[in-house]
């Protein structure tokens, strides 16, 4: 062991491929029970020469119990994994047949033993001997114990006691290791009962922080948790209720918006109908496009509903406050061209005798609508404040 420790301390002591080595220096570390090869390289193993136990050569490992080896060369084939009837020893020098029950095995290497079916069923390696985990309740049993040393967040070491036995499920061996390695299989403890080792619990988990001291049996962290039926029912009901609330809220919002739009449309048509009734308009497709507010006619204020209508004269002069004058026309465009350049409309405007100067439309769409300037007198039948257009031609 002293030589191995010196090899660990001295960097130059690391063996290289093909270098001579001593197989007897390969051992298990007594603190962690980790295999330490004489070559001190995770990729190499000390292979004995012939039948010699003291002379060997460092070679690459042939088999492995893992899929990763640190610093393994990329140009060298990775070690193989052994099949179900073979095992890879700690030195990794090649797959070996499974060891029969009662024969020697490497420490805690249950995968090296044949077990009950010859393929490792219920196999266990106790005290370096292959055994079968099949001792029934009340039958004699054997106990294996080892104290591990591990380091956690500090340089001071911690001890962890691990015990194993060959009793069947829901039983454990009551032997005291410091007194005897043998005992009798007794019933295991249920969750919530006091324990000191995982093997003492039916769940195979003693909640004692892994230190081997007093603890309580409990389900392991990786155990499958069975969710009660009422939990699933509650979650499903909550989802359904949430969906109903969302749909109800959307329906109420749609109903509110729909009613608001319907009220706007209803108010619009009610105003149109009222305006037509007040002004005796019987033409279909007539839409009132101006605000029926108070206007100034020759210094007198009148409401739009009080103005008389005439289908003979398409012109009127309505003087609005703050402007010279404003003419609002009532058009019936069915089958007629009333554009500003139309000769009939131009001749009518030029031949009219209107006493005051009038201007065309004064609104936001003034550039798109015609403007008229003429003189004449205001007739009784020309006092109106509406704009009427055929729905098909205007809209």
pLDDT digits 0-9 by tens, 118-172 = 888 999 999 999 999 999 999 999 999 888 887 776 667 778 888 899 999 999 9
By the 8 A CB rule, do 148 and 33 touch? Answer: yes
pLDDT bin (cut points 50, 70, 90) of residue 226 is confident
So where are the chain's domains? 1-79, 279-336+352-360+371-395
Residues pairing with 327 in the sheet: none
Please state the pTM of the whole predicted model. 0.53
pLDDT bin (cut points 50, 70, 90) of residue 339 is very low
Token representation of residue 380: 């009784």
Classified as helix, coil or strand, 110 is helix
Give Rg (Cα) of the chain.
52
| pLDDT at 327 exceeding the cut of 80 | no
d(CA 27, CA 55): 15
Q: How far is CA 235 from the centre of its chain?
A: 18
By the 8 A CB rule, do 218 and 246 touch? Answer: no
- The number of C-alpha atoms within 13 Å of 81 and in the hemisphere containing its C-beta is 8
Other C-beta atoms closer than 10 Å to the C-beta of 316 total: 25
């Amino acid at each position: 062991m002293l030589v191995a420790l010196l090899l660990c301390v001295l960097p130059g002591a690391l063996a290289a491929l093909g270098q001579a080595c001593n197989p007897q220096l390969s051992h298990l570390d007594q603190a962690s029970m980790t295999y330490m090869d004489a070559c001190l390289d995770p990729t190499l193993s000390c292979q004995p020469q012939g039948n010699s136990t003291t002379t060997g050569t460092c070679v690459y490992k042939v088999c492995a119990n893992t899929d990763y080896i640190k610093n393994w060369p990329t140009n060298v084939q990775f070690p193989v994994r052994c099949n179900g009837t073979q095992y890879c020893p700690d030195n990794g020098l090649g797959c070996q047949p499974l060891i029969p029950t009662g024969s020697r095995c490497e420490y805690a290497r249950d995968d090296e033993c044949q077990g009950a079916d010859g393929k490792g069923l219920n196999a266990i390696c106790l005290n370096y001997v292959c055994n079968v985990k099949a001792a029934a309740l009340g039958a004699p049993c054997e106990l294996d114990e080892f104290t591990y040393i591990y380091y956690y967040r500090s340089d001071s070491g911690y001890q962890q006691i691990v015990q194993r036995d060959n009793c069947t499920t829901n039983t454990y061996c009551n032997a005291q290791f410091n007194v005897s390695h043998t005992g009798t299989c007794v019933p295991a403890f249920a969750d919530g009962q006091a324990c000191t080792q995982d093997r003492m619990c039916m769940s195979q988990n003693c909640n004692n922080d892994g230190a081997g001291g007093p603890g309580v049996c409990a389900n392991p962290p990786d155990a499958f948790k069975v969710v009660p039926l009422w939990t699933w029912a509650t979650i499903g009901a909550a989802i359904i209720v949430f969906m109903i609330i969302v749909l109800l809220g959307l329906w109420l919002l749609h109903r509110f918006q729909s009613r608001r739009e319907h009220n706007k449309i209803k108010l619009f048509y009610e105003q149109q109908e009222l305006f037509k009734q007040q002004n005796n308009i019987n033409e279909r497709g007539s839409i009132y496009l101006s605000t029926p507010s108070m206007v100034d006619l020759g210094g007198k204020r009148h409401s739009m509903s009080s103005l008389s209508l005439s289908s003979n004269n398409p012109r009127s002069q309505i003087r609005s406050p703050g402007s010279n004058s404003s003419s609002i026309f009532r058009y019936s465009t069915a089958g007629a061209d009333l554009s500003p350049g139309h000769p009939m409309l131009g001749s009518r405007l030029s031949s009219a005798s209107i006493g005051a100067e009038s201007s065309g439309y004064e609104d936001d769409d003034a550039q798109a609508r015609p403007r008229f300037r003429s003189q004449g007198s205001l007739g009784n039948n020309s006092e109106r404040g509406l704009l009427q257009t055929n729905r098909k031609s205007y809209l």
